Every structure is written in C-alpha cells, then in structure tokens.
Amino acid sequence: MTLSPPALAPDDWRRLRDALRYQGRDLHHRSYAVTSRRRELLWEEMDCCLALADRIEAHLEQLSACGIDLESERTGD
C-alpha cells in the first residue's frame, strides 16, 4: 500500500528538509566521539536522514514544476 504525502505547506516541507539535514550533520559530528560500532550506526542513521531530505527536496521540485500550490490544498481554498 502506498500512502500519499501529507498536505503540508511548502515552508513546512522545507523546514522538515532542513531539520533532517541538520540532524544528519549533527550525527556525523557526534560520530567522532564514539566506538567504531556506534559510529557505523550513527552514519547509517545520518545516511537515512540525508536520503529523506533529498526525497523531500525532489518532492518540492516536482510540485514546483507542476505549479501545485500546497497551501491552497492544505486549507481547502
């Protein structure tokens, strides 16, 4: 089953994207102070955060290319 993305305003999508990128950078930074096994786990999580941020970026670009106004979809205008 495929779920459609939630109807969020473009600014909300950007906030999520930016938060995921920030989290990825933070995980990378913290990885230097832990054991090698823990570092692998942190890098795995970092990769997931960055990949999801990239997917959100692609989603925003696709919506922009289609001229879809997410704000009016969200509010029902």
pLDDT in tens, 18-74: 999 999 999 999 999 999 999 999 999 999 999 999 999 998 998 888 876 544 444
Question: Does residue 31 contact residue 42 with C-beta atoms inside 8 Å?
Answer: yes
Residue 26 tokens, joined: 């933070």
Domain membership of residue 30 (yes or no) is yes
Please indicate, yes or no, if residue 54 is contained in any of the structural domains: yes
Distances (CA, A) of 67 to 10, 24, 28, 40, 61: 12, 30, 36, 40, 10
Q: Which domain holds residue 59?
A: 10-68
Cα-flanking dihedrals φ and ψ of residue 34, to 5°?
-130, 175
- Please count the structural domains in the chain: 1
The verdict on residue 38 lying in a domain is: yes
In a domain, 1, yes or no: no
